[in-house]
Amino acid sequence: MRLTAKLTMLMAVLAVSACTNANRFDNGAVDLNAATGNAGGILPGSASDPSSPAYFQQTVGDRVLFAVDQSTLGPEARSTLDGQVQWLLTNSDYNAVIEGHADEQGTRAYNLALGARRANAVMEYLIAQGIPSSRLRFVSYGKERPIEICSEEACYAKNRRAVTIISAGLTG
Amino acid sequence: MKQIVASLLAVLILAVSAPGVVLAQSGPLRIEITEGVVEPLPYAVPDFVGETAGAQQLAQQIARVVADDLTGSGLFREVPREAHISQITSFGSPVQFADWKAINAQALVTGAVSSEGGRIVVKFRVWDVFAGSELGQGMQFAGTPDGWRRMAHKVADQVYSRITGESGYFDSRVVFVSESGPKDQRSKRLAVMDYDGASVQYLTGGNALVLAPRFSEDGQRVLYTSYETGMPRVHVLEVGTVQSRILQGQDGVMSFAPRFAPNGQTVVYSLTQGSNTDIWAMDIASGGTRQLTSAPSIETAPSYSPDGSQIVFESDRSGTQQLYVMSASGGEARRISFGQGRYSTPVWSPRGDMIAFTKQNAGRFHIGVMRTDGSEERLLTASFLDEGPTWAPNGRVIMFARETQGAQGSSSLYTVDISGRNLKRVRTPEGASDPSWGPLQ
User: Could you tell me if B387 and B399 are in contact, meaning their C-beta atoms sit under 8 angstroms apart?
Assistant: no
pLDDT over 90 at A172, yes or no: no
Look at A14-18, B290-294, B382-386 and tell me which has the smallest mean pLDDT.
Answer: A14-18
How many interchain CB pairs under 8 A, A with B?
A: 93
Q: What is the phi/psi pair of residue A3, to 5°? A: -60, -45
Q: Within an 8 Å CB–CB cutoff, is residue B114 touching chain A?
A: no
Q: Which residues of A touch B212 (CB under 8 A)?
A: 108-109
CB contact under 8 A, A107 and B388: yes
For the residues B279-289, what does the mean pLDDT come to? 94
From the CA of A83, how many Å to the nearest CA of chain B? Answer: 23
Domain with CATH 3.40.50.10070 in chain B: 2-164
For the residues B124-149, what does the mean pLDDT come to? 96
Q: Within an 8 Å CB–CB cutoff, is residue B273 touching chain A?
A: no
CB contact under 8 A, A120 and B182: no
**A158 closest CA partner among A50, A23, A54:** A23
User: Could you tell me if B81 and B146 are in contact, meaning their C-beta atoms sit under 8 angstroms apart?
Assistant: no
Looking at the partner chain, which of A139, A144, A149 has a beta carbon nearest the beta carbon of B254? Answer: A139
Q: What is the phi/psi pair of residue B265, to 5°? A: -100, -20
Here the ipTM equals 0.90
CB contact under 8 A, B358 and A147: no
What is the pLDDT, as a whole number, of residue B37? 57
Give the CATH fold of the B173-440 domain.
Answer: Neuraminidase (2.120.10)
CB contact under 8 A, A108 and B388: yes
- What global pTM score does this model have? 0.88
Name the CATH code of domain B2-164 (choices 3.40.50.150, 3.40.50.300, 3.40.50.10070, 1.10.1200.10): 3.40.50.10070
What is the pLDDT, as a whole number, of residue A40? 54
Query: What's the mean pLDDT when you consider all of chain B?
Result: 92
Confidence of residue A15 (pLDDT cuts 50, 70, 90): very low
Residues above pLDDT 90, as percent of chain B: 88
Residue ranges per domain, chain A? Answer: 2-168
Chain B contacts in chain A segment 87-146 (CB below 8 A)? 104-110, 112-114, 116-117, 120-121, 124, 137, 139-141, 144-146
Chain A contacts in chain B segment 184-213 (CB below 8 A)? 184, 186, 209, 211-212
Give the Cα separation of B1 and A155 in Å (integer).
45
What is the pLDDT, as a whole number, of residue A41? 67
Task: Give pLDDT tens digits for B56-92.
Answer: 999 999 999 999 999 999 999 999 999 999 999 999 9
Give the CATH fold of the A2-168 domain.
Answer: 60s Ribosomal Protein L30; Chain: A; (3.30.1330)
Give the Cα separation of A100 and B352 in Å (integer).
36
